[in-house]
């Protein structure tokens, strides 16, 4: 409904209620005049007049106060309709009572004015309640539509970003390979023609190109998390972890890492992606183990509707200020000289876990190592 119509109907609704109030005051005055001049005791006239004027004043005051309530003006007419409806219902009841054979009102005008005035106030109360409920429903509906619109926009922009990252990293692969190939050729064929500095510069350039290659590979994988997994299968995380450890066996042997684990649950997911999560977390636990040989324990516990899987290490830990940003793309806390890496591993884990309907987080202190945990929706086995 347009704002202009809303204003007009709002004015009409308030006017209906105020007019009813004014009408009762006028009727009460007329009735009091007739009764007082007809010889009825003043106290009787006063009380009955007050019982009619009172609701009239309440209706006028209510109409005046309506804008202060949490009601959209489009629903003011609903309040007027409730007041009129209450008068009609009361009139019907009074008429039925009046025309019954056994008994009837001694003074029908007085009863009619008094009871319908009181019932119109009840109508005002119910009307305000109803109009507020409708306003709230309208607001919820508006918010839902806004949320759906925002969600569609977000999905669209996410899709575009994914396409961009995927295309950019994919298209970068070929020229990158070319750079590495020709630099390696220079290194091999013209090594004798280069002096010490020249050989060092070529080695730096090859190292830079290799790094760029790793980063674009990671970015490509990151941007394809959703596109690469259409449907989920029931997977046993015990098997997934075993596969991940098998892929890491050289690093585990070389570092002398002790990896232990409890029984892990069945979940619905993409086996390859979940293996990647375990692989990245265990690999990090080995990389950031500190001076002692790595110790790693993998466990799972139920939390409501989810399983929480944790990879615990006793390594160098992570400062609390850095615990959020390490899940962002290319965020690293150490230089390449200290520890090799691209800074995409945890971002990839986060994306995979979120794609599976879960969350990932870390609890850590630099003294006691880190526990990376991720949740996955539980399934009925
Ligand atoms: P990468 O390991 O390639 O640098 P990640 O995204 O896997 O990238 O990790 C981001 C950063 O988080 C790392 O550079 C490291 O500083 C920190 N980090 C990750 N895992 C651990 C861990 N188990 N213990 C301490 N720090 C860690």
| Higher per-residue confidence, 174 vs 297 | 297
Nearest-atom index, ligand 1, CA of 347: 6
- Residue 270 has what DSSP assignment? -
The reply to whether ligand 1 has any atom less than 6 angstroms from the CB of 370 is: yes
Checking if the pLDDT of 334 tops 60, the result is: yes
Are residues 199 and 317 part of one domain? Answer: no
Picking from 138-142, 144-148, 305-309, 337-341, which range would have the lowest pLDDT averaged per residue? Answer: 337-341
Nearest CA to ligand 1 atom 13: 332
Q: Of 78-87, 128-137, 216-225, 270-279, where does mean pLDDT reach its minimum?
A: 216-225
Does residue 128 sit within a domain?
Answer: yes
Pull the structure tokens for residue 11.
């004015």
pLDDT digits over 37-79, tens only?
A: 988 888 989 999 999 999 999 999 999 999 998 899 999 999 9
| Residue 228 included in any domain | no
294: left (phi over 0), alpha (psi -120 to 50) or beta: beta
Question: In angstroms, rounded to a whole number, what is the distance separating the alpha carbons of residues 334 and 342?
Answer: 10
Between CA 49 and CA 198 the distance in angstroms is 110
Same domain, 204 and 244: no
What average pLDDT does the chain have? 90
Mutating to test ligand 1, I would choose from 284, 316, 363 the residue with most ligand atoms within 8 A of its C-beta, which is 284
How many domains does the chain fold into? 3
Q: Within this chain, do residues 202 and 279 fall inside the same structural domain, yes or no?
A: no
**Structural domain contains residue 97:** yes
**28, 124: one domain:** yes
What digits encode the pLDDT tens for the residues 209-240? 988 888 888 888 888 888 777 789 999 999 99
- Give the C-alpha separation, 64 to 366, whole Å: 65
Handedness of CA 54, 60, 61, 62 (dihedral sign): positive
Q: What is the pLDDT of residues 136-174, one digit of tens each?
A: 999 999 999 999 999 999 988 888 887 888 787 788 888
The answer for 208, left when phi > 0, alpha when psi is -120 to 50, beta otherwise, is: alpha
Distance 60 CA to ligand 1 centre (A): 70
Q: Is 170 in the pocket of ligand 1 (CB under 6 A)?
A: no
Look up the domain containing 56 and give its range: 3-151
Instruction: Look at residue 104 in the predicted model and tell me its pLDDT.
Output: 65
Q: What spacing in Å lies between the alpha carbon of 257 and ligand 1's midpoint?
A: 17
Query: What is the predicted pLDDT for the residue at 4?
Result: 38
Cβ neighbour number for residue 208 with a 10 Å cutoff: 13
Are 143 and 172 in the same domain? no
Place of tokens 């309709």: 81
Instruction: Dump pLDDT digits (tens) for 24-41.
Output: 999 999 999 998 898 888
> Strands 295-303, 258-261: parallel, antiparallel or unpaired by DSSP?
parallel
The pLDDT of residue 103 is 67
Residue 82 in contact with ligand 1 by CB distance below 6 A: no
CA-angle at 121, arms to 119 and 126, nearest 5°: 95
């Amino acid at each position: 409904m347009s704002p202009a119509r809303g204003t007009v109907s709002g004015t009409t609704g308030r006017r209906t209620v105020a007019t009813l109030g004014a009408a009762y005051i006028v009727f009460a005055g007329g009735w009091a005049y007739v009764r007082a001049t007809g010889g009825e005791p003043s106290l009787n006239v006063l009380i009955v007049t007050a019982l009619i004027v009172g609701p009239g004043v309440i209706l006028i005051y209510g109409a005046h106060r309506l804008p202060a309530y949490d009601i959209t003006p489009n629903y003011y007419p609903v309040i007027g309709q409730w007041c009129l409806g209450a008068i009609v219902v009361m009139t019907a009841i009074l008429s039925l009572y009046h025309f019954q054979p056994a008994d009837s009102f001694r003074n029908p005008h007085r009863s009619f004015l008094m009871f319908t005035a009181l019932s119109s106030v009840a109508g005002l109360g119910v009307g305000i309640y109803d109009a507020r409920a409708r306003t709230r429903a309208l607001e919820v509906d508006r918010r839902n539509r806004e949320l759906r619109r925002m969600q569609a926009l977000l999905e669209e922009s996410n899709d575009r970003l994914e396409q961009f990252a995927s295309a950019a990293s994919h298209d970068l692969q070929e020229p990158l390979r070319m750079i590495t190939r020709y630099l390696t050729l220079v290194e091999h064929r013209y090594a004798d023609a280069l002096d010490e500095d020249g050989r060092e510069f070529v080695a730096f350039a090859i190292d830079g190109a290799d790094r760029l290659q790793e980063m674009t590979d990671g970015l490509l994988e990151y941007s394809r998390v959703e596109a690469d997994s259409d449907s989920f299968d029931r997977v046993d995380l015990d098997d997934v972890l075993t596969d991940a450890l098998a892929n890491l066996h050289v690093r585990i042997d070389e570092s002398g890492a002790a990896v232990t684990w409890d029984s892990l649950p069945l979940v619905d997911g993409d086996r390859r992606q979940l293996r990647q999560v375990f692989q990245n977390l265990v690999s990090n636990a080995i990389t950031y183990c500190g001076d002692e040989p790595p110790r790693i324990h993998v466990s799972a516990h139920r939390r409501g509707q989810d399983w929480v899987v944790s990879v615990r290490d006793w390594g160098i830990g992570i400062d609390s200020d850095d615990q959020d940003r390490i899940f962002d793309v290319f965020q690293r806390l150490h230089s390449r000289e200290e520890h090799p890496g691209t800074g995409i591993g945890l971002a990839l884990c986060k994306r995979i876990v979120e794609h599976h309907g879960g969350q990932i987080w870390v609890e850590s202190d630099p003294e006691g190592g880190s526990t990376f945990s991720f949740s996955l929706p539980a399934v009925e086995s």
